[in-house]
Amino acid sequence: MITGEERGGEREKGQAAAFPAPVESTGADRWGRQRVPVLLAGLGAMAGVGAALGGYALLYEPFNVQTERIVLRLLRERPGIPREGLNILHLSDTHFRGADRREHAKIAQVRRATAGERIDLLIHTGDFLHDDRGLENVLALVDSLPKPRLGAFAVTGNHDYLFYSMKRAPLHTWRVFRAREEGVGTGIRGRPREGVDDSGMARVRRLLRFGRYLLQNRMDGEPVGTNDIAGLRRALEEQGIQFLDNRAVRLGGTDVYLVGVEDWLEGRPDLQKGFAGVPRGAPTVLLSHNPDIIESEAAGRADLILCGHTHGGQVVLPLIGPAYTHTDQLARSEASGYTRRGHTHIYVHRGLGESIPVRFGAPPHVTFIRLLPALDGADKFCAG
Ligand SMILES: [Fe+2]
């Protein structure tokens, strides 16, 4: 007679014969079996997040045109500015290049953002063009804007003169860095300049300085061609925009002066010439594409400087801030919006367009500025 226990024992024996007894597995073995799917899932998640962020930066944010409004009071007594102030519409850095779908979408956004606004001044602080193919859309943009009561004014940006390639930007940046350090022209490669220390330690120190130079937001595109700046000016002047190339105008019915300078990098900016004829103490707005104009002491005569060029960094990284601002004079935190030096307000426009067509954390915008007289000579302003 076979007991139940024995039958069970027989079954276990039979099972053991058909299926080898499992070997007890270790944690390392389990991880070995699971490693591939876990890694694949991780890579898939990272690729998904990367694709989502890339899509956002490429297809959404560049078209998400914001409207910013800021009210500024002059920081010192300046007779002659209307009590009700001046309403300024400030645009900058359109960077049009004939990419019709992108540019028509931006024009439609700007039209919606500015429709029905009553403005005294229309200001564009340069880089209308990325290259000449963008002219037609620049004219369409200007045509879509409200008509200013006191006039439309502009200055040139570096891209209005030249178009650049970023393909060899690191090499070009190195040449510009060497030229700045040594006060000589670029274009000499492979042989030391006269009087330059080219010892091993000097090279190491130079590389360290170059690293610091890059970290200070310097990366220069290589100029590879010229734009038809004369054609741009002619076409825009026919639409009623006056270019202020190192010259000033007095706004009709006021004692407010607008001064504009040529681009800091590619033009011949001349503040002395620009301010010639502007009475000391007159309320003055200075237009300069590049904010580095503040390096010049004469810029302190302006009550407000309007500029662009930085694109707000275009890509603003968490914890780091703007990735690349292309300015020597502003801190990363000042690459977009309002800042100040002494009694001079400075407004840095992030632009409407892009050089490399992505934006992250630095959306394009139009800005309405209301500029008011000072309050009893007190050092006060309001922004928001
Ligand atoms: Fe620009």
Q: How far apart are CA 155 and CA 262, in angstroms?
A: 6
Question: Residue 339 Cα, ligand 1 centroid: separation in angstroms?
Answer: 19
Give yes or no: residues 120 and 201 share one domain: no
Structural domain includes residue 10: no
Question: Residue 37 Cα, ligand 1 centroid: separation in angstroms?
Answer: 45
Range from 14-18, 72-76, 93-97, 135-139 carrying the lowest mean pLDDT: 14-18
Q: What is the pLDDT of residue 144?
A: 97
Question: Residue 355 Cα, ligand 1 centroid: separation in angstroms?
Answer: 7
Please say if the pLDDT value at position 75 is more than 80: yes
Structural domain includes residue 379: no
Q: How far apart are CA 360 and CA 219, in angstroms?
A: 19
Give yes or no: residues 238 and 210 share one domain: no
Question: Residue 274 Cα, ligand 1 centroid: separation in angstroms?
Answer: 22
Q: What is the pLDDT of residue 295?
A: 93
Query: What pLDDT band is residue 37 in, cutting at 50, 70 and 90?
Result: confident
CATH number at residue 72: 3.60.21.10
Question: Residue 129 Cα, ligand 1 centroid: separation in angstroms?
Answer: 9
Q: What is the pLDDT of residue 183?
A: 62
Q: How far apart are CA 321 and CA 42, in angstroms?
A: 27
Asked if 136 and 105 touch (Cβ cutoff 8 Å), the reply is: no
Q: What is the pLDDT of residue 21?
A: 58
Question: Residue 30 Cα, ligand 1 centroid: separation in angstroms?
Answer: 55
Structural domain includes residue 109: yes
Question: Residue 238 Cα, ligand 1 centroid: separation in angstroms?
Answer: 23
Question: Residue 93 Cα, ligand 1 centroid: separation in angstroms?
Answer: 5
Question: Residue 332 Cα, ligand 1 centroid: separation in angstroms?
Answer: 16
Question: Residue 350 Cα, ligand 1 centroid: separation in angstroms?
Answer: 9
For residue 2, report the phi and psi dihedrals to the nearest 5 degrees. Answer: -110, 125
Question: Residue 160 Cα, ligand 1 centroid: separation in angstroms?
Answer: 9
Question: Residue 298 Cα, ligand 1 centroid: separation in angstroms?
Answer: 24
Please name the residue that has the structure tokens 């063009």: 129
> Which comes out higher in pLDDT, residue 200 or 248?
248
Give yes or no: residues 74 and 176 share one domain: no
Q: How far apart are CA 233 and CA 74, in angstroms?
A: 31
Asked if 68 and 101 touch (Cβ cutoff 8 Å), the reply is: no
Give yes or no: residues 182 and 276 share one domain: no
Q: What is the pLDDT of residue 323?
A: 82
Q: Position 56: which residue type?
A: Y
User: In sequence order, what DSSP letters do the residues of 136-160 get, joined into one string?
Assistant: HHHHHHHHTSPPPSSEEEE---HHH
Please say if the pLDDT value at position 300 is more than 60: yes
Give yes or no: residues 260 and 321 share one domain: yes
Question: Residue 90 Cα, ligand 1 centroid: separation in angstroms?
Answer: 14
> Which comes out higher in pLDDT, residue 376 or 14?
376
Dihedral (CA of 79, 81, 82, 83) sign: negative
Q: How many domains does the chain have?
A: 2
Q: Domain range holding 238? A: 64-166+224-372
Give yes or no: residues 185 and 292 share one domain: no
Q: What is the pLDDT of residue 121?
A: 98
Question: Residue 66 Cα, ligand 1 centroid: separation in angstroms?
Answer: 17
Give yes or no: residues 91 and 201 share one domain: no
Q: How far apart are CA 293 and CA 275, in angstroms?
A: 14
Question: Residue 229 Cα, ligand 1 centroid: separation in angstroms?
Answer: 15
What average pLDDT does the segment 229-239 reach?
97
Q: What is the pLDDT of residue 185?
A: 44
Give yes or no: residues 332 and 187 share one domain: no
For residue 327, report the phi and psi dihedrals to the nearest 5 degrees. Answer: -140, 140
What average pLDDT does the segment 90-111 reach?
97
Question: Residue 123 Cα, ligand 1 centroid: separation in angstroms?
Answer: 15
Question: Residue 154 Cα, ligand 1 centroid: separation in angstroms?
Answer: 14
Q: What is the pLDDT of residue 383?
A: 56
Q: What is the pLDDT of residue 1?
A: 42
What average pLDDT does the segment 81-98 reach?
96
Structural domain includes residue 2: no
> Which residue, 148, 180, 214, sits at the end of a domain?
214
Question: Residue 338 Cα, ligand 1 centroid: separation in angstroms?
Answer: 18
Q: To the nearest 10°, report the CA torsion of 108, 112, 116, 119.
A: -80
Query: What pLDDT band is residue 190 in, cutting at 50, 70 and 90?
Result: very low
Q: 3-state DSSP call for residue 237?
A: helix
In tens, the pLDDT along 205-222 reads 989 988 888 877 777 888
Range from 12-26, 120-134, 291-305, 338-352 carrying the lowest mean pLDDT: 12-26
Query: What pLDDT band is residue 194 in, cutting at 50, 70 and 90?
Result: low
Q: What is the pLDDT of residue 270?
A: 96
Give yes or no: residues 144 and 204 share one domain: no
Query: What pLDDT band is residue 51 in, cutting at 50, 70 and 90?
Result: confident
